[in-house]
Amino acid sequence: MSDVPDGKAYSYAEDLNRLLEQLHIPQACIIGQSLGGGIALEFALAYPQKTSSLVLVDSTLDGYTWSTEWTESWTPIYREFAIAGAKAALPKLLAHPLFAPGFRQPALKARLADILAGYSGWHILNEDPVIESDPPAIQLLEKIQAPTLILVGALDLPDFHAISDILEKKIPNAQKVELDDVGHVLPMEAPEACNRIILNFLESLNGKG
């Protein structure tokens, strides 16, 4: 589990860049799921020369206007975090429709419950000093030149399908794959299918597919 912010301004893209530098990796395929997809986009825009390719799985998108249904679905969860704390709010968090498709698998439900139980709720209860992209990524997608794979679960919520459509339309060298009968936590719900699609994508870039 990552440390919570200490009050100093920070950038996800810069943090990732420093990690790659520390590992002496000059260029890489950047893969991100959900919020991680949004970070992958931020990195690709900030460091295009270090992004050989991009894989966005059920990704968020900075600058996207979320639906009223999405926003309202989180209101009681945020309220519970603020009033009762993270531990008490966990049942409401686990009941969010975002996780419902994955929870059809008992082992996955237990694993996700364990992961979410470790969330402190810091980003809900505090003002996050993260440096926001200006302009937001949604206005810059046409600038992404890296070959891009977009994955979305067929059972994911409507906002994520809308985002995947925007990504496919605006990123010049993008292809989208929708996986049947899986939701938002695609890499955990269908790991073998997810890995196979990503590996086939990477092999095609290397001339092996």
Domain parsing of the chain, residue ranges: 12-66+129-205, 68-125
Question: Residue 195: which H helix or E strand, with range?
Answer: helix 191-205
Structure-token match 């003002």, residue found: 127
Q: What is the pTM of this model?
A: 0.93
CATH number for 12-66+129-205 (one of 3.40.50.1820, 1.20.1090.10, 3.40.1160.10, 1.10.443.10): it is: 3.40.50.1820
For residue 123, the model assigns a pLDDT of 81
Q: Measure the CA–CA gap between 37 and 159, rounded to whole angstroms.
A: 14
Q: Measure the CA–CA gap between 197 and 144, rounded to whole angstroms.
A: 21
CA torsion 173-178-183-186 (nearest 10°) is -60
pLDDT per residue as tens, the chain (209 positions) = 567 666 788 899 999 999 999 999 999 999 999 999 999 999 999 999 999 999 999 999 999 999 999 999 999 999 999 999 888 999 999 999 999 999 999 999 999 999 998 888 888 888 878 888 889 999 999 999 999 999 999 999 999 999 999 999 999 999 999 999 999 999 999 999 999 999 999 999 987 54
Burial 42-64 (b: 16+ CB within 10 A, else e): bbbbbbeebbebbbbbbbbbbeb
For residue 183, the model assigns a pLDDT of 97
Structure-token match 């996050």, residue found: 128
